[in-house]
Amino acid sequence: MSDLHLLTVTELVARLTSGACSSVDAVQALIARKQATDGELHAYISLDEADALAQAQVADARRAGGDSAPLLGVPVGVKDLINVKGQPCSCGSKLLRPYTSPYDATAVARLREAGAVLCGRLNMDEFGMGSSNENSSYGPAYNPWDTARVPGGSSGGSAAAVAAESAFVCLGSDTGGSIRQPASFCGCVGLKPSYGRISRFGLTAYASSLDQIGSLSKSVADAATMLQVMAGWDERDSTSLDLEVPDYAAAMQQDLTGLKLGFPQAFFVEGIDPDVADAVNAAVEHCRELGAEIIDVQMPHIKYAVAAYYVVATAEASTNLARFDGVRYGDRREGGNPEQLASCTRAAGFGMEVKRRIILGTYVLSSGYYDAYYLRAQKVRSLIRKDFEQAFAQCDAILSPVAPTAAYPQGAKLADPLQMYLGDICTVPVNLAGLCGLSVPCGFTSEDMPVGLQIIGPAMGEEMLFRVGHQYEQATDWHTRRPGIGGAA
């Protein structure tokens, strides 16, 4: 059973179904792999081994009783801002370290119903605010391809664990690229579903009009399986949509013949790494060879996306994080009156990047600046959404880089947050428009760091992502390459 950690979710389910292994075997393999790699990676914040094994035993008993739930016995890691009953949910912050969740997020509840074993809290940038995982109060996670480099963020721990095969699959969240960018940096598959496709109930809010739960996985098929289980309307989330969930597995099997794929040059920003550009261009040509027609589409307002995003997102963060005041959740620092209590608690509990974004968000919402910044950013958001609508009138999906660079060295951008923000140029437009996006491995740089191809679909168009992504994945071998960390084969 020494090779169990190498399996995709699809392969593991096949073994569990055939009786070739048990869920306990799978969890034990995961624990052993974590012990072999996490001293270098710091991908996990915590893993309750006894609880994971107990859940696995229950799953094995269910299977012995004839249960055939789709994820029965499959271990799933969870980013540390998604609530799992009885587990900590610190959001990577000192302020919430004392907090244990009393309930399951809807996405987690659906995974639990499908038989998944919820095990492990994955490292992340505090409250999802960061692109490198260097803003975690627990310390950074590291990239398994080169531990001197960042794994991306904010779902950096999830991406690093999947790439290093110390997790079969992980939940992440994506507010401006926090699933897709670390997936690109670590060489795994990252899915950001459409806004409203998965309930946000139980996801600790950063920016409520942008946040979405998704997955980091070893294959497109695994991403489709996870979405199939988690998607659907939830009465506890007024933004979730009551729409039929398509058969994603069936959509994957269709080839690319006759598809029109847009390829906007607007995503090839000044300063893009030539190795990244070459890898993405080669991937686009490969899609052409697979039968797709590649067409140019114009997206003139993409260049304003980062500026609009960092106004909208910080404004919503300023409001959402006001609840962490030392009275109801987590840590508490005493003060002479309620104002001092909140001030002292927040000053001690929040990290520098969270404070920076709260201050910026409060400023753009303040009297005299609301129209100049927040209202104008929302107008730009509408223009970006219109760019996508016009593009999708001409094509079925859009191809682009995930990020302008591959993973960069630890500390390279910490002193200049603006440079880190600019790295989000290819991902934030998708969130601003409420669309779905998928990152799939498409090559390596000259320094042997992974590069991701971003596939963007229309709202509720995830089946198109899986169709394009799976067909490209199966025609290439980038997704089969593994980092050498922990004695990997």
Q: Given the residues 90, 178, 219, 318, select the one marked as catalytic.
A: 178
If one counts every other C-beta atom within 10 angstroms of the C-beta of residue 474, the result is: 14
Joined tokens for residue 454: 């971003």
Rounded Cα distance between 94 and 329, Å, is 12
Joined tokens for residue 449: 């760091």
Q: Given the residues 22, 93, 154, 166, select the one marked as catalytic.
A: 154
Rounded Cα distance between 437 and 195, Å, is 11
**Which residues are paired to 79 by β-bridges?**
122
Rounded Cα distance between 173 and 185, Å, is 16
Contacts of 318 (CB under 8 A, 6+ apart): 357, 358, 360, 361, 362, 365
Question: Which amino acid does the sequence have at 121?
Answer: R
- Which of 42, 203, 195 lies closest to 127, judged by CA? 203
Whether residue 413 lies in the annotated active site: no
What are the angstrom distances between the C-alpha of 164 and each of 137, 168, 451, 456?
22, 10, 16, 26
Rounded Cα distance between 276 and 238, Å, is 39
- Judge contact between 146 and 123, C-beta under 8 A: no
Angle at 380 between CA 376 and CA 381, to 5 degrees: 115
Peptide bond into 23 cis (omega under 30): no
Whether residue 79 lies in the annotated active site: yes
Contacts of 20 (CB under 8 A, 6+ apart): none
Joined tokens for residue 180: 């897709």
If one counts every other C-beta atom within 10 angstroms of the C-beta of residue 368, the result is: 6
**Helix (H/G/I), strand (E/B), else coil: 6:** helix
How far apart are the two ends of the chain, measured CA to CA in Å? 14
- Judge contact between 91 and 129, C-beta under 8 A: no
Q: Given the residues 22, 23, 34, 79, select the one marked as catalytic.
A: 79
Rounded Cα distance between 142 and 157, Å, is 8
Whether residue 94 lies in the annotated active site: no
**Helix (H/G/I), strand (E/B), else coil: 267:** helix
Catalytic residues: 79, 154, 178
